[in-house]
Each structure stands twice: as structure tokens, then as C-alpha cells.
Amino acid sequence: MNIKKEDLSYYGGNKVIKYKKPHWKWPPKYKEKNNSVLSYYKEEEYNKSGYPKIVEIFESNFKKYIGSKYALSLNSGTSALHAAFFAVGISNGDEVLVPSMTFHATAGPIMQVDGVPVVCDCELDTGNIDPQDIETKITKKTKAIVITHLCGHPCDMTKIIKIAKKNKLFLIEDCSHAHGSTFNKKKVGTFGHIGVFSLDNNKLLAAGEGGILVTNNKLLFEKALLISDFGPRIFSQIKNSKLKKYIETGLGFKHRIHPASAAIANCELKKINFYINKRLKVLNSFSNKISNIPGISPPVTRKNCTRGAFFGYRVFFDNKILNNISVDYFVSLLQAEGMEIRKASNKPLQYLPLFHKNSGAKFLKKNFINFRKFSDYDLPNSEYFYNNTLSLPTFTFEDQELIDSYILAFKKVCGYLIK
Ligand SMILES: Cc1ncc(COP(=O)(O)O)c(C=O)c1O
């Protein structure tokens, strides 16, 4: 292709992608899902106060799907993470090692139980927390590690489990991008002491809003339940005598899932393998097609891993090949061609005021005792990963023509730049 400057839409040429936005349409809409919500409203037994039948059914099915003994559904993935940090006993300035490349909710709730998030660098190929950096950040105050299986790619569980065991640390897996992902054929969420999944509307298992926590440990389950609920459910499910005395009140929160969300999640769970297979087929084919366009490369999936939900599709950008242009200019050229593309959607945690020493939010110190204790981070891999990966829609059911037009737009812009 001999592309001239004036051919680019940015400089007045014709756009490649003319499809109406948004290009990514999720979650799927279908009749059975609507009916699942209606049946919750219609059926008497579904309205059982505190612990409606549909919530119990969803948890039971999710446990079977993941392969865990206990499941607790909550109103968000954030609440599930909060419950997890409380359950493992984070308090009084305990340090929790957190990944740099994640959504802020992986780490924010740590401060709500009076812990200190300590941000670790990432691996360059997956963006996942780097086991080597975990080891350098462990101190006497470290009590737990929380990891995110970023964009559905499992973290290196062999190394991370070894480190957690050696240092007697709790391990929490944030599986919000990774429903159904496997590492050495085992599902994520079953490696750590607790696994947590978001069920918000962008996620593979989209329930409007919601989250679910899984564990094989009864005491951790009971503690997570106590911080999130009160009344009938905890009356029947909490056996531990120290926890039981708070049955009437819980600990001041009510983070139950809405039963309508549980009904939707339960309905979607029946289709989860279908969604995963479809998404993998579409995105793997997209990866193959862009793999020989100079200047960009597709995400890598390691041999012993599967990506399950594949939530968030990120391509690598190599400006050495693309005439040393800035990532912002590259994104602008592609956006002008009609592409829905942006710099990786989640900034590294150390860039965010909540986790950064220069935020100046002194008023927060009153509530978050350990706010801003950790400060100057030097995390070169995460800086690189953030500045050299670009987010695209997680295509699943979209028209092949639309998907192919993304490939044409890449070819056009990269073709112009590498001349
Ligand atoms: C990695 C990760 N963890 C946690 C969450 C929080 O989940 P929720 O939005 O359900 O609270 C998200 C949401 O995007 C996420 O991406």
C-alpha cells in the first residue's frame, strides 16, 4: 500500500471504519435472560428475605463451575475484594502487595480495612504482577498478596504460590477479567485463599452490577459473610462462635447482591463456555491477522495458560518501527479512521492520586490512617507496558466486516508511518 499523508482521515482523507459507535456491544440481550428476572419477581419463594432462592442457586452453580467449596455473591467486585481483605485479617497497617497494572478496586478496599497497598511492577509480556518484584517488596509487615489476572491472562501461579507459601502470606486472586481462564489446566480463583470476580455489565458474566467471592476455607467464608451481611443468611451459615454473636447486626455493612442480578448472572452462567469459545475464536483470528502488520503486535498467551474471558484486548505498539511517533499521535490517527482505540484503559496504580504521595488530599488522612505511606515508586515495566499497549474492543459477536475494517485501518496507518 502506498499511503500518502492526505489519504489519512486525520488529514482529510476517507475514514476506513464507518460503523456506528459503540463498536463493542456487550452484554448480549436475549429473551431467556429477561424471563429470568421476571421469574424472580413473580415467584414467592424467590423473595425469601435476606437470602432469596435465586442467590443460593447462582452461588451453588458458580461453585460448581469454579470448583470451590464456598461462594458468596455481593453487590460488586469491589465489595467482594473488601470482604476478602477483611476475611484474611488485614488491619493496623498490614502491607498488601498489589499489582501496578489493574483496576483501582483491586487495591482501594485495602485502605478501608486499615491496610497499606504496596504497588509491585509487572511482567513485560502479560502486564501481570512480576513475581521477582513481589519478592523485593516483602517486609515484616507484609500480610498478603492480591493479584489480577490482567485481560484474562493468568499470573504465574507456580512462582507466586511458592513465594506466598515461603513467606506465609495470604493470596487473593482478582479474577474480574478472567472468568474461566486456566493455568496448567486449573481454573483461576482456585489457587489462592480467596478468588474474587466482578459481575458488572462489561464483564464476561454480566449481571448489571455484582461480584462473587469463592474460597475453600470455611472460616474465611464466614468472615467475608459477616462483613457483608446481617440477619437470616448469616444466622444459618455462620457457625464460628466468635463471629456468631454479631448475627443480628453484621459489622455495619449490607453488601448483598440484588436478587435480579443473581438471576441474570445465573442465566449467563449457562452460556459462559459458549461466550468464552466464541470470544477466543474471534480474538485469536484477529491476533493472527494483525501479527504481520509492522509496528503492532497482538497480546501473547503463554503455553500453559488459557485466557477465558479475555476481558480487554490490548495490542503492543512499537514506535521504533513506526518512525518514533508518540503513542498519542498513533492513537489519534487510528481514532480518526473511526477506530475505538485508546491508551490502556487503566492507568498504573502509582499514577493515581489515591495511591500516590503527591495527591495532597490531607483530609483523607483522617479516614485512611495509612494513606500515602508508600510513595516513590520506580516501576519501569509498568511504565513501559502502560505507554506501549493500546486497548481495543473485546470483540465477540460483532460483524466480521467491522472487525476486518479494524485490520484495514491498522494496515493503512502503519503502512503510512513505516515508510
Ligand atoms: C480487575 C478488576 N478488579 C475489580 C473490579 C471491580 O469490580 P466492580 O466494578 O464489580 O466493583 C474491576 C472492575 O472493572 C476490575 O476490572
With a CB cutoff of 8 Å and minimum separation 6, the contacts of 285 are none
Please report the atom of ligand 1 found closest to the CA of residue 105. Answer: 4
C-alpha–C-alpha distance, residues 271 and 398, integer Å: 17
76 lines ligand 1 (CB under 6 A): yes
pLDDT of residue 126: 97
Tell me, in angstroms, the distance from the centre of ligand 1 to residue 173's CA: 12
Q: Look at ligand 1, atom 14, and give the residue with the nearest C-alpha.
A: 103
Q: What is the mean pLDDT of the chain?
A: 93
| Domains defined along the chain, listed by start | 5-27+272-417 (3.90.1150.10), 31-269 (3.40.640.10)
198 lines ligand 1 (CB under 6 A): yes
Please report the atom of ligand 1 found closest to the CA of residue 311. Answer: 16
Cell of 2: 502506498
Mutate to test the pocket of ligand 1, among 81, 128, 176, 205 (most ligand atoms within 8 A of CB): 176
- Asked if pLDDT for residue 359 goes beyond 70, the answer is no
Give the number of other CB atoms < 10 A from CB of residue 19.
Answer: 15
C-alpha–C-alpha distance, residues 79 and 64, integer Å: 22
Lowest mean pLDDT among 74-88, 113-127, 154-168, 374-388: 374-388
173 lines ligand 1 (CB under 6 A): no
Residues 262-292: tens digit of each pLDDT = 999 999 999 999 999 999 999 999 999 999 9
77 lines ligand 1 (CB under 6 A): yes
Average pLDDT (292-297) is 96
Please report the atom of ligand 1 found closest to the CA of residue 210. Answer: 10
C-alpha–C-alpha distance, residues 118 and 114, integer Å: 13
Residues 22-72: tens digit of each pLDDT = 999 999 999 999 999 988 888 766 666 788 889 999 999 999 999 999 999
348: pLDDT confidence band, cut at 50, 70 and 90?
Answer: very high
360: pLDDT confidence band, cut at 50, 70 and 90?
Answer: very low
CB 403 within 8 A of CB 284: no
197 lines ligand 1 (CB under 6 A): no
371: pLDDT confidence band, cut at 50, 70 and 90?
Answer: very low
pLDDT of residue 375: 55
Tell me, in angstroms, the distance from the centre of ligand 1 to residue 14's CA: 38
Q: Look at ligand 1, atom 8, and give the residue with the nearest C-alpha.
A: 77
Burial of 54-90, coded b for 16+ CB within 10 Å and e otherwise, reads: bbeebbeebeebbebebbbbbbbbbbbbbbbbbbbeb
The separation between CA 36 and the C-alpha centre of its own chain, rounded to angstroms, equals 26
Residues 202-242: tens digit of each pLDDT = 999 999 999 999 999 999 999 999 999 999 898 999 999 99
Can you give the pTM of this predicted structure? 0.96
Tell me, in angstroms, the distance from the centre of ligand 1 to residue 198's CA: 5
Query: In this prediction, what percent of the chain has a pLDDT beyond 70?
Result: 94
pLDDT of residue 48: 67
78 lines ligand 1 (CB under 6 A): yes
What is the phi-psi region of residue 308: left when phi exceeds 0, alpha when psi lies from -120 to 50, beta otherwise? Answer: left
Tell me, in angstroms, the distance from the centre of ligand 1 to residue 78's CA: 6
346 lines ligand 1 (CB under 6 A): no
Mutate to test the pocket of ligand 1, among 73, 75, 102, 103 (most ligand atoms within 8 A of CB): 103
357: pLDDT confidence band, cut at 50, 70 and 90?
Answer: low
261 lines ligand 1 (CB under 6 A): no
Higher pLDDT, 385 or 358: 385
